[in-house]
Structure 1
């Protein structure tokens, strides 16, 4: 009897082992295509947004931070990691699809996207910055002046909602914006070349545009006089300040109407930049599905850096001498009501 029971136990154990063996999946070796070598520059740029020249520049800058510390067999190279992240930004697809395209697993694709995004986001101080030297400030103002004849403008400011998936928890509703979906409210300042000069990507969707600006570093820099008498242009959601020009609610005189037209036409550069940026990187317009805000912020900052890299070769010639001659009569310190001063003196004279 004892022999029969022992025999049955052995058979049962063998059945269990067989089930374990059947359920265990064998490791799959996936083919990783070298898309950088396969595509020419035109096809490469249409799929990854960067030209091969810019791709090499970026890879040489962050490549060291993407090298695996442990030399595993078949380790994913920095080139492949950067291609995976760029493909995600350029399509906004599910990470399992990005992994299939690149020959890696979904988990690997997820880790790579976050690692690369963090590395690119750290370059923001190098590629997203305000002009500091006086000559650079004058050049920026002269380029912006060409838009609609508004003098002393350094940039246009506005916010855009980047859709996210709810992070859950007690503070989940803070991310629901006035339009009803969850988002991060991202503030940006743009110049006439449609480049980002400043970007803030850490506020939940329920935050008002003016609240973000009032708590930003760029406001403190303007109030400290770091940019001289340079101006920002914003919509009616911002308060009218000596260095922040907003449109008039009810313009009456010809000078006020001309001021509003110039202000609105010049301010559209930030709206155009948002449109190009989100179409260039659909990962922003389709929305992200990450579990924490920090990971989404890295994606936003990385896409902003890449956007500026793409647009940094754009030439925009401007007549600095002619602008300086015009600026002589209006190159004073801020007045108590700078908007009123510009309307009564500059725009009145333009009629």
Structure 2
């Protein structure tokens, strides 16, 4: 890789010296070279002026990876702080603009079948062969506004946040995201105001999305299957909850920035790019969050999915569990 003129004349930028010396970029940028190549191809940046597309992408990724201030990043790269600010905002916008290329619901019957079979494999039971995704909300740490409304961002864990509602497939890829509600809002209320709920176009009839106990169990307008409440009675319900938990994915995400919504969206896009390139870092150990068991502000007009859940529970009780590695169909 040819070093740009900026790197040749500025010998005080070790982070770039390591990158252009073909060292592993993940310690500095959290992305492998394969993921970086995919990102740059998707962005298709053309920089006739300024620092060049590669340098600007690396500045943006370093800022994300380290969570450092613009002042710190400017010292690391030897460029003015105002330039770092401009680069971060511009590249963020460019990454968000390619969202539709990276985050999308299954578009073909074959893709949907792949996702459904994947969830049945995770659950180790064919009763989950109609699962088309797993939904959850997570809290993104942020600096609250200084206005009186800032208290609305303090969640039940007492730190300020915004909520990312995400639907993932069986491999942990984001297939739908909705960002921006303050941390004090219940997950079910965020769901009710999301495009996924309002449009009711996914999943197709006969399929459902897995959710935890913080959501209502619904059949319409959005089919959600949640576990039975704690202290469940009966072996069948206990088995159902066990298989449900195997199929359900949860990932905690944290970030801190004043322009939080586009940055969080950019991070979900980078997540999918990394998974596609096989670029997976070992997860950090985090305390398990307590699942809220109430259904919060569930829409009273929504149709309960409890009967559907009972039907699935009956299938779980009737059908023999298939060990890992065996065909579950």
TM-score (ref. length: structure 2): 0.77
Matched, 1:248 2:228: yes
CA-to-aligned-CA distance 1:224-281 (integer Å, 9 cap, x gap): 46523221111111011122111111422222111111112211x2x2xx24xx4xxx
TM-score (ref. length: structure 1): 0.73
Which of residues 237, 240, 252 in structure 2 aligns to 1:259? 240
The 8 Å contact of residues 119 and 170 in structure 2, kept in 1 or not, is answered as: yes
Q: 1:133 to 1:104 in 2, by over 3 A?
A: same
Q: 1:32 to 1:153 in 2, by over 3 A?
A: farther
Report the structure, 1 or 2, having the larger helix content: 1
Partner secondary structure for residue 319 of structure 2: helix
Q: Name the count of aligned residue pairs.
A: 280
Partner of 2:272: 308
Which of residues 183, 191, 197 in structure 2 aligns to 1:213? 191
Unaligned runs of 5+ in 1: 1-28, 279-283, 316-333
Matched, 1:163 2:141: yes
Aligned-residue CA RMSD in angstroms?
2.5
CA-to-aligned-CA distance 1:101-146 (integer Å, 9 cap, x gap): 1121222112211111111012111101111211111110001111
The 8 Å contact of residues 211 and 226 in structure 2, kept in 1 or not, is answered as: yes
Where do residues 119-158 of structure 1 align in structure 2 (5 Å cutoff)? 119-148=94-123, 149=125, 150-158=128-136
Partner secondary structure for residue 76 of structure 2: helix
The 8 Å contact of residues 225 and 305 in structure 2, kept in 1 or not, is answered as: no
Matched, 1:47 2:28: yes
Distance 2:306 2:235 in 1: 22
Q: 1:182 to 1:37 in 2, by over 3 A?
A: closer
Unaligned runs of 5+ in 2: 1-8, 280-303, 322-329
Partner secondary structure for residue 229 of structure 1: coil
Matched, 1:340 2:310: yes
